[in-house]
Homo-oligomer: A and B are copies of this chain.
């Protein structure tokens, strides 16, 4: 898509720029700026890892004001486990960006993704931030999506239109994922921008609700990172009366945001390191939503299930075993399992459909449904298969 087309797809009032700061290997842009022409509402969700990167801790402190105007983000270095210097570096990036843009430092949010434990190369970042601010507007949101990639193989971007009164607003989102994706967001960065005005409490609650059913329900390798951040900025440029949870338009906004984050989280899983297949694990008729989630995550995180899917082996015993150790309460002898629409397990024993199941597992998209017959709750988790390439990519990540 041409840059002009991409610009018309993105929400009004936001400009972008990207540069090569030489944090990553030469030839790849690794520093990006998202800038709203007017001050905005902002909300965020962050990693629950006890080890939090410096920029994450800084964002968590800043976001209490619910106000923001710019996001400065680098890839190649996570600025995590970098001690006092790491925090000073994050603050310096913020103040330099603010100075260049002529706005208050309180309105600038820093994010980082990449290797843990290496100090930030500030001597290269400082001139790059200056260059970046000068070129605001030169690039597109897709360019930003590309510049935050680490082991991702394609940029991840999605757009939704929402009618608000007589106006049409836009919500756009970009994210990066690939490895270290686990419950509660992991090495994931997600930036969502909208030109629809949303009151701060409603914005925060809408984001939390969407994230809980999308980014927090995906898993690639069960690891959770020090850096995940999802930020949403609402600049209100279309001029609507700010949406509250009671506004007529709020439901449509929430629905569009849900769809956007689910689409983005699907892109992350599809691009899981080394993955060849997208797997949706659905647990239904669980005793509680907590049970449904536990069982679905146990199946989705099982290395044995994921390697079986990769090997086109309809080995449902591994699914039973994973559900069994999930601590969800159920009776194995009432449990049914389906591969897409083919029922492979009926009341806990084989339904003699191994041949048909093998045909299903060969497809690029697989839905594993586990029906526990223990209640009425359900949960859906997205994951991918587990391949030799995952091992290769992660064994060689820093070499």
Contacts and interface: CB of A to CB of B under 8 A. Distances in A.
B226 A116 contact: no
Contacts of A123: none
B222 A307 contact: no
A81 B226 contact: no
Interface residues of A, number: 68
Q: Give the dominant DSSP class at A's interface.
A: loop
A349 B82 contact: yes
Residue in A184, A303, A396 with the greatest tally of chain B CB atoms within 10 Å: A303
Contacts of A350: 81, 117-118
Interface stretch (A14-22, A196-204, A383-391): A383-391
Contacts of A322: 223
A364 B169 CA distance: 59
A116 to B, nearest CB: 2
Given A221-B304, A332-B50, A397-B308, A321 B226 contact: yes
B325 A395 contact: no
- Among A116, A117, A182, A323, the most chain B Cβ lie within 10 Å of the Cβ of A117
Given A51-B320, A83-B348, A394 B224 contact: no
A318 interface: yes
How many copies the complex holds: the figure is 2
Nearest to A85: B349
Interface in A265-318: 301-304, 307-308, 310-311, 313, 315-318
Interface string A328-359: 11101100000000000101111000000000
B117 A180 contact: no
Contacts of A311: 394-397, 399
Interface of A: 48-52, 78, 80-83, 85-86, 115-118, 179-180, 182, 184, 221-226, 301-304, 307-308, 310-311, 313, 315-318, 320-325, 327-330, 332-333, 345, 347-350, 386-388, 390-392, 394-399
